[in-house]
Amino acid sequence: MNILKIDSSVLGDNSVSRNLTAGIVADLVAKNPSAKVTVRDLDREAPAHLGNHLLPVLGGPKDGLNAAQQAELDITEAYLAEFMAADVLVIGAPQYNFGIPSQLKAWIDRIAQAGRTFRYTENGPEGLAKGKKAIVVSSRGGVRQDGAALDLHEVTVDVVLRFLGITDISFVRAHGLAMGPEAREAGLTTAKTEIAALNDALRAAA
């Protein structure tokens, strides 16, 4: 089993999503001791955001790249190789101002490439990253107030993964983290309960 852990929180050791992704990966490795784990810390090694200088890297001819573009191409190819090799994705996705962290979006911009992770067909786009499982840790300071209207960060991750062909997606939610000690504890308890249920389901499927 190949596990790819993606962390995008900027809070370092104080990050709830990081602590939860680490726990999920530890559980997976305990169940699969031979598993290979690859970690991408998108805060400590943040990918450059999409700009004109990156367009040759993300598509089209690769001739004539300058040194900076070649370095970006190398890291992009590494991201793509890790993503395609992964059997399980564990993604930490905190909510920042209604959306996902910009560094997680920058990573998505690197791996969502036509002809590599999806393709266009006469019947519409088709994801090429099928057969993977994704576990998404969704953390936020508040709670959902009105359905999905303020839930853009979960919607974004879910839509992107499905577009790339990944349909086995589980969300672990730690919400209400900034609403006082009781709400924080309740949010963490909910997340731990969801992780336990996820582990039970994985054991049953083994």
Q: Is 51 annotated as a binding residue?
A: no
Tell me the per-residue pLDDT of 7-20, one tens digit each, with 9 for 90 and over.
Answer: 999 989 889 999 99
Average pLDDT (65-91) is 94
Its domain, for residue 200, covers 2-205
| pLDDT in the model for residue 203 | 63
| pLDDT in the model for residue 190 | 83
Q: Given a cut of 80, is residue 87 above it in pLDDT?
A: yes
Our CA angle for 127, 158, 33, nearest 5°, is 80
Q: Is 34 annotated as a binding residue?
A: no
Q: How far apart, in whole angstroms, are the C-alpha atoms of residue 124 and residue 134?
A: 23
Q: Is 131 annotated as a binding residue?
A: no
Q: Is 16 annotated as a binding residue?
A: yes
How much is the CA Rg of the chain, to the nearest whole Å?
A: 18
Q: Given a cut of 60, is residue 120 above it in pLDDT?
A: yes
Average pLDDT (167-172) is 94
CATH of the domain at 142: 3.40.50.360
- Residue percentage of the chain with pLDDT more than 70: 93
Q: Is 9 annotated as a binding residue?
A: yes
- In the beta sheet, which residues pair with residue 20? none
| pLDDT in the model for residue 158 | 95
Binned at pLDDT 50, 70 and 90, residue 150 comes out as low
Q: Given a cut of 80, is residue 154 above it in pLDDT?
A: yes
Contact 57, 73 (CB under 8 A): yes
Q: Is 102 annotated as a binding residue?
A: no
Backbone φ and ψ for 36, nearest 5 degrees, come out as -100, 130
The residue ranges of DSSP E strands in the chain, in sequence order, are 2-7, 36-41, 88-94, 118-121, 124-127, 133-139, 168-174
Tell me the per-residue pLDDT of 23-50, one tens digit each, with 9 for 90 and over.
Answer: 999 999 998 999 999 999 999 999 999 8
CB atoms near residue 160 (< 10 Å): 19
Q: What's the domain count of the chain?
A: 1
